[in-house]
């Protein structure tokens, strides 16, 4: 009798653990994506592993992808099909970093980082603001709640559009937040149609920063402000240091980046396009707290998640290939952490620009 009771007790405990990790455990910050709901965007289950292999083959030599710029947007779209649900499940609805702040949660630190962008462009009620590379709209909703501005986001990924719209409705912000599917290198907006714009860790996916800045410049009204948080290498990066190079290549491979830019290129490019650069600053520098602490997942937490996605794949709840994607993201987290610890990489090189009040269509300047 005692043996039977013990067996049932073990079974009940195991069932409770499985229930907790599979059905209860949701997004890190905002419940909205459970482990059993992991998909790979709009990729059908039988194509996930093939798409992952194609992505990895394309980005395994990041610098070479910049020379194949016509294919970069398609593979960035594939990347976000592969990672969006895992990001939401394990990170939250804001796909970016923020400085850690003592005595504040990651969620509050993220919100403050986003609201800072809103304040820099003077977002306020009545203004029409563009979110360039909006993901599933975490920053959009934070900035809309903070400023009450009307925000339109653009993302290349159709699955993210559906997720963002669903979140907007759930948050009661769909009256002032809209999302469209499109390539930010060729946006479906008229010239001079926005009062302000921001991009948070998004334009790093552009093969040439000039191309996306040119489009942003085009759709902004004269006098409008634009702020971007850019992924760049810092002055501490040394191209002749093998460890530095491997760290940066690891970040590029695992985040669909066609080559990271140097910190000293950003303002030069902005000026080249016609922007007035008002401020430039690495928001990761002290007194800001380390942005990478949240990435330092312990081995126990990693193996817990690894076993979970492996089990879901075996049970055919999650598509084949999820384990490969999870492993890639874990390895990338290690490279990002080393980039932060060594100080050679920052994901929050802030540049605040203004389109001159006397500006004409930028396209004319390139003819």
**What pLDDT digit, counting tens, does each position of 248-277 carry?**
999 999 999 999 999 999 999 999 999 999
pLDDT recorded at residue 15: 54
Does pLDDT of 363 surpass 50? Answer: no
Q: How many CA atoms lie within 13 A of 243 on its CB side?
A: 8
- Three-state DSSP string of the chain: CHHHHHHHHHHHHHHHHHHHHHHHCCCCCCCCCCHHHCCCCCCCHHHHHHHHHHHHHHHCCHHHHHHHCCCHHHHHHHHHHHHHHHHHHHCCCCCCCCCECCCCCHHHHHHHHHHHHHHHCCCCCCCEEEEECCCCCHHHHHHHHHHCCEEEEEECCHHHHHHHHHHHHHHCCCCCEEEEECCCCCCCCCCCCEEEEEEECCHHHCCCHHHHHHHHHHHEEEEEEEEEEEEEECCCCCCCCHHHHHHHHHHHHHCCCCCCEEHHHHHHHHHHHCCEEEEEEECCCCCCECCCHHHCCCHHHHHHHHHHHHHHHHCCCCCCCHHHHHHHHHHHHHHHHHHHHHCCEEEEEEEEEECCCCCCCHHHHCC
Res. 237 pLDDT band, cuts 50 70 90? very high
Quick check: 5 pLDDT over 80?
no
For the record, the structure tokens of 13 come out as 């405990």
- Given the candidates 3.40.50.150, 3.90.1300.10, 1.20.140.10, 3.40.50.300, the CATH classification of the domain at 11-365 is 3.40.50.150
pLDDT in tens, 24-57: 444 343 445 655 567 778 788 888 888 888 888 8
Average pLDDT, the chain: 88
Of 66-75, 139-148, 320-329, least confident by mean pLDDT is 66-75
- Under 8 Å between Cβ of 310 and 38: no
Phi first, then psi: give them for residue 29, nearest 5 degrees.
-110, -45
Compute the average pLDDT of residues 308-321.
81
Q: Predicted confidence band at 23 (pLDDT cuts at 50, 70, 90)?
A: very low
């Amino acid at each position: 009798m005692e043996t039977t009771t013990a067996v049932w007790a073990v079974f009940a405990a195991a069932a409770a653990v499985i229930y907790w990790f599979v059905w209860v455990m949701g997004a890190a910050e905002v419940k909205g994506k459970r482990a059993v709901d992991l998909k790979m965007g709009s990729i059908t289950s039988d194509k996930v592993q093939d798409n992952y292999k194609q992505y990895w083959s394309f980005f395994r030599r990041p610098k070479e992808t910049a020379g194949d710029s016509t294919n970069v947007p398609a593979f960035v779209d594939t990347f976000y099909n592969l990672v969006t649900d895992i990001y939401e499940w394990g990170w939250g609805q804001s796909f970016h970093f923020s400085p850690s702040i003592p005595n504040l949660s990651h969620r509050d630190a993220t919100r403050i980082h986003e609201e800072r962008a809103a304040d820099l462009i003077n977002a306020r009620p009545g203004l029409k603001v563009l979110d360039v590379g909006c993901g599933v709209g975490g920053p959009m909703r934070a900035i809309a709640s903070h400023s009450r501005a009307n925000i339109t986001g653009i993302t290349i990924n159709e699955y993210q559009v559906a997720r963002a719209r669903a979140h907007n409705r759930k948050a009661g912000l769909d009256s002032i937040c809209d999302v469209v599917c499109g390539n930010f290198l060729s946006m479906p907006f008229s010239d001079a149609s926005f009062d302000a714009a921001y991009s948070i860790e998004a334009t790093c996916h552009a093969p040439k920063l000039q191309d996306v800045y040119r489009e942003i410049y085009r759709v902004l009204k004269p006098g409008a402000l634009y702020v971007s948080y850019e992924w760049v290498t810092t002055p501490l990066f040394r191209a002749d240091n093998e460890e530095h190079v491997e760290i940066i290549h690891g970040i590029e491979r695992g985040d669909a980046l066609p080559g990271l830019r140097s910190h000293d290129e950003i303002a030069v490019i902005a000026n080249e396009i016609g922007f007035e650069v008002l401020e430039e600053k690495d928001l990761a520098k002290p007194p800001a707290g380390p942005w990478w602490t949240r990435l330092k997942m312990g081995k126990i937490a990693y193996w817990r998640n690894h076993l979970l996605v492996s089990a879901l794949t075996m049970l055919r709840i999650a598509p084949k290939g999820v384990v490969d994607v999870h492993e890639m993201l874990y390895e990338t987290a290690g490279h990002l952490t080393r980039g932060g610890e060594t100080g050679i990489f920052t994901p929050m090189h802030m540049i605040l620009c203004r389109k001159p009040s006397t500006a004409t269509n930028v396209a004319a300047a390139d003819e």
